Every structure is written in C-alpha cells, then in structure tokens.
Structure 1
Amino acid sequence: MRHRLLAALAAVASTVLLGTAVTAVPAAEAATPEPSVSPGVSRTWVTEFVSSDCPSGYLCAYVMSNKPGKFGAGWYLFKFTKCITYDLNYWHYDAWVFDHQTGGVTTRFLGQNNQVLDSMKVAGPAIRWVSPKNGYHQWDPIYKIDVC
C-alpha cells in the first residue's frame, strides 16, 4: 500500500512540475528473473536459430525470455559442454535444443524429482523440440539437463 501511494505521489508531482506523467513498472514485471543455469554456462541473446551458433561438441538450448519487451522477440541461447547435470532456473515456454555433441552421448531432460521426462541421442547435429511427455513442447516441467 505504501509503495502504491509513493508511486501515485511521484506521478502527481511529475505531472505538476514537468507536465508529464510517470508510468511505474509493476513490481511483478520488474522483478521477473531471467532464465539461468547452475553451474553457469555461456548465455547469449539470439533472434533466430542459426546452426553456426552451436559449435561442434556442444548441446545448445533455446529459452524464451519472460521479460516485458523481450517476450516473443527472441531466445536466450545456453551452450553446454561439460558432461554434468545442470539445474535450470526460470526456464519457460518453447523448448528447443540443438544437439551438436560428439561421441554418441545421450542428453536427458529431468523433472523436479530427477525423473527422465525426455532424452535424445543423435548421431550428428540435430535440432528439435524437447517433449517432456506431457503433450507440450515447453521447459516448464523440466528442472535439470543431464548432458551425458
């Protein structure tokens, strides 16, 4: 309540002093965390799927941003190289991966209780949806990626 009152007073003061209204960003939107991984890996912003963005030996995952202004405008591209299990934080929406790993490794996509929701083993570079056995191609039920 106090924050709303302060925001309203700031908007009135701005209108009186400057002749313009100030629009506050709702706290829920301003505090929306971006997707991340633990342990950390390379993360870049891309607006299209380009196979050259995923070098040989990598598993690359595309995660849509949930930030206002970025939603639907592109993806965060995460590049995994180490043969370990990664925790996924704030991964939502479309679930795309480009598997450019070598050596015939299997990538597993795990749920909250480490249950396997999907897996993929490819003989060469391949891009595809992750399908966590719920009929949808989204990251929401996936909490971890076991790269090999």
Structure 2
Amino acid sequence: MRIVVTVGGYRRMRVKSSVFAVISAVVWLLAANLAVGSTQAQAAAPSNHQVGTYFIKLPPAPRGAHSAAALAPDATSPWIDPSVNTTENDPGDIVPCHSGVLCPAVWDPTTAKWKVFNLSRCALYKVFYWNDWGQYVDNQTGGVESRYYDQGYNIVNRFWPTGDAIFDQRWDEVYYIRNCF
C-alpha cells in the first residue's frame, strides 16, 4: 500500500507503509510505555512490599478485655488443629496477610494480644477457645469458597476471596473452618 501526502495540491512526500509496519510501531510504543510505567510503580512501592500482600490494621481490644497485667489465671489461648503459622500482635498493629492465605484474627486473653492465624493449606480446621468478636481477611487465590461451621457442621458464614476487605466475625459460634471448598 502506498500513501501519498499532498500539501496544497502538490505532491511533497511519499511514505511507503504496510499494515505490519503500523502494527509493529504501535506494539513498540505500548511496550515502551508499559516498561516505563511498571518501573515507576516498582520504584514507588516500599522495600518490604510483596505483590498480593494486604495489610490489616488490627482493632482495639474487645470490650471488657483485661490488660496483660490483669489476666485471668484460668484463661486459655486460642489454637487450631491442624496447627498453622500464627503471629501475636498488639491492638492497632498493622500485619500482613499474604497472597493465598485466609487470615482470621482472634483475641488471646492470656496475652492481651490479637493472634492472627495463617491458613494457607486447604484443610478442615477445628478451632479451640476462639471467643468474642474478631476479624478476618480472605486473601486466597483462585476464587475458592471458604466456610465457617458451628458445632453441628451447619454453615455460619461462607465467603469468597476479597483480598483487601476486612470482615468482623463472632468467633463464639465457629467450631470449624474449611478454607477451600
């Protein structure tokens, strides 16, 4: 294909072009723009940023919770079976929930801290001494459904990954968690 450019009725220049050349130029421009854009985004991210990681700001201690100095001697720390990686955090701390993980936060009356459980393996978990209100973030991948069950395996809550949304949950009614259905 030939394109002839005329100005004022006079032929000034001939430009030989093909569909391939036009497409190549557009692709090259898009690639150059994406390379510059992604470099800028990486430069702006903090050094500890991980793709797909969301950060949770833990809430204040539950109403009526005791301070660490006034803990009840008969209190029991929340736990889960099978066991998972957990972290203990002060109210107001900002903690990561990595990609592929369901992150429930449960108040631990023995330490006056939030215990964040990292459920990354597909399993049916049994929870123990999960009391009062807490929160969770579902940062799993692949659109899997998660379910919280009561003592009789009735569904208390069912949800899908949302990543950066934090949800409240009454843990007293939860006895089992299946993080992938």
Segments of structure 1 that go 5 or more residues without pairing to the other structure are 1-27, 131-137
Higher radius of gyration, 1 or 2 = 2
- Give 3-state SS (helix, strand or coil) of 2:115's partner: strand
- Which residue of the partner structure matches residue 139 of structure 1? 171
Residues 137 and 163, structure 2, Cα contact 8 Å, conserved in 1: no
- 2:116 aligns to what? 77
1:63 is matched with: 106
**What is the TM-score normalised by the length of structure 2?**
0.56
TM-score (norm 1): 0.67
After superposing the two structures, state which structure 1 stretch, 89-98 or 119-128, moved more.
119-128
Shift of 1:58: 0.3
Identity among equivalent positions (%) equals: 29
Query: Amino acid of the residue matched to residue 175 of structure 2?
Result: Y
CA displacement 1:7-26 (0-9 Å, x = unmatched): xxxxxxxxxxxxxxxxxxxx
Shift of 1:29: 3.0
Equivalent residues of 2:139, 2:162 under 8 A apart? no
The alignment of Structure 1 onto Structure 2 pairs a total of residues equal to 111
Q: Where does the alignment leave 5 or more consecutive residues of structure 2 unmatched?
A: 1-70
> In the aligned structure 2, how far is the partner of 1:145 from the partner of 1:30?
28
Higher relative contact order (CA 8 A, sep 6+): 1
